[in-house]
C-alpha cells in the first residue's frame, strides 16, 4: 500500500535567536515526491524556518517528523548531521562551498557519511546531472561563477542520496539565464523522486513548479494552497507578488509563459 502521508511534516514551530522568537507556531509539510515553496516578504521568517527544520537552531516549541521510507522519525531534537544521515539535505544561500578546495573535493565531502567505493558511483551520478562540474572537477571552487557555485552546492547536497532537499534562495543574485538553468535542474531532481522544499524570492517561478505553497508573514502562516492557485490568488498577488502589471514591466514574465506550462511538459521539451 502506498504511504500517502507527507514525507516531511512540522507542526507549531517556535524558534528564534537570543530571547526573540521569529517563528510563532508555523506548520508546513512536504508531500512524498513533491515540491513545496515557502514565500513571503523579507523578515517573515523563511530562512529561520529552514534553519529550524534542519536543526541549526533549536526549537522552542513544535515538532518535526521525517518519513524517508514510510518509517516515522521524530527529528525535532536531532543535530544536522543526524538529519543528513536519515536523508535530509540542506543547501544554504551563502557560504555554501569550500572555496580553497576543488570541485571534486567539495563533492567528496558530501559523501562523508558513506565513504568508500560508492563515492565514485555518486560522483558519476551528480556529474550526469551537472556536466559542467565534471568538466571543472579539478578547478578550485573559489574561482567558479555564482551560478556554478550554486550548482556545486546543490550537487554536494545530492551526494548522500537524500530523500528531501531544503533549499534557501537557490536563485538569489544569479543572472536570468542561470536562474532558468537552476530551476530546470530542480525540476529534474524532483522528477527523479527527491522531494523539495524551496524558500525563494522569485515567488512566481517557484510557485509555478510547486505542488503546494506557503506564505509566511511575521513568522506565522498567512496563506497556503496549491502553488498555481496561490500564484493567481488576488490577495497573494497584491500583497506579496507586487501585481502582474509591475512584474511584467520588470521583465519577469517576458518570453514563454512559464507558469502556464505544466512541469511535465517543460521536462518533455528539454529532452
CA pair distance 62, 28, nearest whole angstrom: 11
CA pair distance 110, 155, nearest whole angstrom: 9
Q: Are the C-beta atoms of residues 52 and 21 closer than 8 Å to each other?
A: no
Q: Are the C-beta atoms of residues 124 and 152 closer than 8 Å to each other?
A: no
In angstroms, what is the C-alpha Rg of the chain? 18
The pLDDT tens digits along the chain (271 residues) read: 346 689 999 999 999 998 899 999 999 999 999 999 999 988 899 999 999 999 999 999 999 999 998 689 999 999 999 999 999 999 998 888 999 999 999 999 888 776 556 788 889 999 999 999 999 999 999 999 988 999 999 999 999 999 999 999 998 888 888 888 899 999 999 999 999 999 998 899 999 999 999 999 999 999 999 999 999 999 998 878 765 433 332 333 323 343 344 444 444 443 3
Q: What angle do CA 134, 163, 77 make, to 5 degrees?
A: 120
- Domains observed in the chain: 8-270 (3.40.50.300)
Q: C-alpha grid cell for residue 27?
A: 506548520
Say what the pTM is.
Answer: 0.85
Q: C-alpha grid cell for residue 68?
A: 524517508
Q: Is 66 helix (H, G, I), strand (E, B) or coil?
A: strand
Amino acid at each position: 500500500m502506498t504511504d500517502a502521508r507527507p514525507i516531511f511534516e512540522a507542526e507549531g514551530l517556535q524558534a528564534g535567536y537570543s530571547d526573540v522568537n521569529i517563528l510563532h507556531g508555523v506548520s508546513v509539510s512536504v508531500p512524498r515526491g513533491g515540491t513545496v515553496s515557502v514565500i513571503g516578504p523579507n523578515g517573515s521568517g523563511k530562512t529561520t524556518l529552514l534553519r529550524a527544520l534542519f536543526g541549526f537552531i533549536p526549537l522552542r516549541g513544535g515538532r518535526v517528523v521525517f518519513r524517508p521510507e514510510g518509517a516515522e522519525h521524530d527529528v525535532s531534537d536531532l543535530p544536522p548531521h543526524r538529519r543528513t544521515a536519515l536523508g535530509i539535505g540542506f543547501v544554504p544561500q551563502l557560504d555554501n562551498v569550500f572555496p580553497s578546495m576543488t570541485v571534486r573535493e567539495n563533492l567528496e565531502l558530501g559523501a562523508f557519511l558513506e565513504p568508500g567505493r560508492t563515492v565514485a558511483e555518486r560522483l558519476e551520478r551528480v556529474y550526469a546531472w551537472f556536466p559542467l562540474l565534471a568538466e571543472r572537477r579539478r578547478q578550485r571552487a573559489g574561482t567558479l561563477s555564482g551560478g556554478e557555485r550554486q550548482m556545486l552546492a546543490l550537487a554536494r547536497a545530492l551526494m548522500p542520496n537524500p530523500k528531501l532537499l531544503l533549499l534557501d534562495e537557490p536563485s538569489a543574485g544569479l543572472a536570468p539565464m542561470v536562474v532558468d538553468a537552476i530551476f530546470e535542474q530542480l525540476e529534474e531532481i524532483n522528477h527523479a523522486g527527491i522531494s523539495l522544499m524551496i524558500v525563494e524570492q522569485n515567488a512566481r517561478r517557484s510557485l509555478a513548479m510547486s505542488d503546494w505553497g506557503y506564505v509566511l508573514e511575521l513568522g506565522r502562516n498567512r496563506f497556503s494552497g496549491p502553488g498555481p492557485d496561490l500564484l493567481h490568488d488576488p490577495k497573494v498577488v497584491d500583497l506579496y507578488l507586487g501585481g502582474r502589471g509591475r512584474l511584467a514591466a520588470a521583465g519577469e514574465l517576458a518570453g514563454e509563459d512559464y507558469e502556464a506550462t505544466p512541469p511535465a511538459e517543460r521536462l518533455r521539451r528539454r529532452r
